[in-house]
Amino acid sequence: MDLDAYVNAHRATWERLDDLSRRRNLSGDEADEIIDAYQRVATHLSVIRSSAPDASLVAYLSALLARARSRAAGSKASTWADMGRFVAQTFPAALYRMRWWWLTVMGVSMALAVTITWWLIEHPAIEQYLTTPAQVDKLVTNDFEGYYSEYAATSFAAQVWTNNFWLAALCIALGVFGFPVVLMLVYNVANLAIVASIMIRHGRGDLFFGLILPHGMLELTCLFVAGGVGLRLFWAWVSPGPRTRVTALGEEGRSAIGVAIGLVVLLLISGVIEAFVTPSGLPTWARVGIGITVWIGFLAYVFTLGRWAHNAGQTGDISERDRGYEVPVAA
């Protein structure tokens, strides 16, 4: 199919639908017209997808149809039902469907962290190439513990949440390129291992784990989820299977956006724990117990609600209706 000729032949219809979908008020005739134009443009999109897939054109028509559908059927405002559906079905289903990706990232990352930590402890001379004795003493005696109480809890929680979500968002956004995700994961794991080795070798391992575990289990899991989702996005481009690359990237990309939205909430919970629980006066067993409880709660959420939603047909992708594939009809 000659795509340029097809675009020229139907551009007027697309522009008319765009104009109607942007109007505040529609007359009776215009309401009928927008439904008719919607149906024709939906057919055009289907033809382009099957005959001459062009990513930018498909994205443009999909967005146009989504806007027109909302205008024709009445804007679909976010409701508590929509939020409940996302929390109970869409988000956990996406996590469950991609579980082997982020569980693998988690396993490999933790194995790497343990290996680097052990190697640094067994080779103390390496420490002098990484930092100075004065810096080590400062870290062990003050800086590591003081980091969690240096700022007011509220502002610290906001700062931690912002930094962690930015890192997770980068893992997902750069996932299509593959290598940057691996680089970010290795960098963060190596930093964790270096601090762990210093604290353990200087007899402060109890302090290290007592301050890391309360928030770190959920926080690191969120990072591993983001890394796994990013790598899944990369693999959708490398090996799309029976789907076209455009279709595979579209489906996995929409699921990845949903996961990113869910991680906002999870990282907020982690940030609150880091700001209010980690530096609190609670005994170590209580602080670590809170962290373990929250982490187990997350895993239960994924492997119960997520499994049920996935078995019911949910994939974590948005519905065809919200993508503009479902055609509105006149009342």
Clarify whether residues 211 and 250 are in a common domain: yes
Clarify whether residues 136 and 170 are in a common domain: yes
Position 206 scores a pLDDT of 93
176 located within any domain: yes
Position 319 scores a pLDDT of 56
Please check whether residue 90 is in contact with residue 312, taking contact to mean a CB–CB distance below 8 angstroms: no
Clarify whether residues 58 and 98 are in a common domain: no
CA distances from 88 to 3, 83, 300 (A): 41, 9, 12
Clarify whether residues 97 and 73 are in a common domain: no
pTM for this prediction? 0.74
Structurally, how many domains does the chain consist of? 2
Number of Cβ atoms within 10 Å of the Cβ of 34: 23
Is it the case that residue 266 has pLDDT exceeding 80? yes
- Write the pLDDT tens digit of every residue in 212-251: 999 999 999 999 999 999 999 999 888 888 888 888 888 8
Clarify whether residues 238 and 187 are in a common domain: yes
329 located within any domain: no
Please check whether residue 258 is in contact with residue 233, taking contact to mean a CB–CB distance below 8 angstroms: no
CA distances from 94 to 54, 237, 245, 321 (A): 26, 18, 20, 18
Confidence grade of residue 325 (pLDDT, cut at 50, 70, 90): very low
Mean pLDDT of 146-150: 83
CA distances from 141 to 95, 186, 204 (A): 40, 27, 9
Mean pLDDT of 16-24: 83
Clarify whether residues 53 and 139 are in a common domain: no
- Best CA proximity match to 276, nearest among 104, 148, 87: 148
- Write the pLDDT tens digit of every residue in 59-72: 888 888 888 877 66
Contacts for 18 with CB less than 8 Å, ≥ 6 apart? 64, 67, 68
Clarify whether residues 178 and 72 are in a common domain: no
Clarify whether residues 111 and 183 are in a common domain: yes
Residue 103 and residue 107: Cα distance in Å, rounded? 6
Please check whether residue 98 is in contact with residue 255, taking contact to mean a CB–CB distance below 8 angstroms: yes
Please check whether residue 14 is in contact with residue 41, taking contact to mean a CB–CB distance below 8 angstroms: yes
268 located within any domain: yes
Number of Cβ atoms within 10 Å of the Cβ of 93: 26
Tokens representing residue 328 in the block: 């509105």
- Of the CA atoms within 13 Å of residue 111, those in its CB half-sphere come to 6
317 located within any domain: no
Clarify whether residues 64 and 89 are in a common domain: no
- Write the pLDDT tens digit of every residue in 129-140: 888 888 888 998
Contacts for 27 with CB less than 8 Å, ≥ 6 apart? none
Number of Cβ atoms within 10 Å of the Cβ of 209: 16
Looking at this protein, which amino acid is placed at residue 205? G
Percentage of the chain modeled with pLDDT above 90: 43
Clarify whether residues 185 and 204 are in a common domain: yes
In the chain, which ranges are E strands?
Answer: none
70 located within any domain: yes
328 located within any domain: no
- Write the pLDDT tens digit of every residue in 278-316: 998 899 999 999 999 999 999 999 999 999 999 998 888
Q: For residue 235, what are the domain limits? A: 83-311
Position 79 scores a pLDDT of 57
Clarify whether residues 148 and 213 are in a common domain: yes
- Write the pLDDT tens digit of every residue in 185-215: 999 999 999 999 999 999 999 999 999 999 9
Is it the case that residue 330 has pLDDT exceeding 50? no
